[in-house]
Amino acid sequence: MKILILGIGNILFGDEGIGPHLANLIDEKYEFESNEHSVDILDGGTLAQRLIPIITDYDNVLLIDCVSAIDGEIGDVFSFDFNDVPEFIQWNGSAHEVEMLQTLQMIEMLGDLPPTKIVGVVPYVIGENSTFTMTPEVLKAGLTMENAIIKYIKDFGVKTSIKREITLAEVAPNTYLKGAS
């Protein structure tokens, strides 16, 4: 089985970049080992519809992104299946998210959407000024999100090990060097 961990977001807008930053953290920090499954990690940036052929090539997808939640606070983390989005979750907290939601809906209409889980955090929404810096609340939430991602991978029976101790705050300043694929 092919498993994709896909980080979505715009790194120019602070917390909005949590998806790409966390995808890069998982890639730099962990090794995955399985005779049955493969795990790929991708910084999807803001590519949206251009990710369709990539997403449909996998058997399971874990999407890392920002979400909005009714009564949610900055740094609140939510984990849910795309086919069972809680009513209090609104996927419109930033500029790119509607495109990603539409992308997943388009794939679903074509019958090609693999089982998709979302791990999302409520961001501080940036106005007109851009920044690479994330809020302390979202940096802290990154630990909860990281644990949810590793649990997701382990639930498939994939052995995980740490190859390098590194933090989200250390990875984030270099995410722009890797860029979206």
Per-residue model confidence (pLDDT) at position 92: 57
Beta strands 2-8 and 60-66, pairing class: parallel
Q: Write the CATH number of the domain with boundaries 2-170.
A: 3.40.50.1450
What tokens appear for 4 in the block? 């994709």
| Rounded CA separation 90/70 (Å) | 7
Which residues are CB-contacts of 101 (< 8 A; sequence separation ≥ 6)? 91, 92
Spans of the chain below 50 pLDDT:
93, 181
pTM exceeding 0.95: no
Tens of pLDDT, residue by residue over 87-107, are 998 765 455 556 788 889 899
The structural domains of the chain, with segments of one domain joined by +, span 2-170
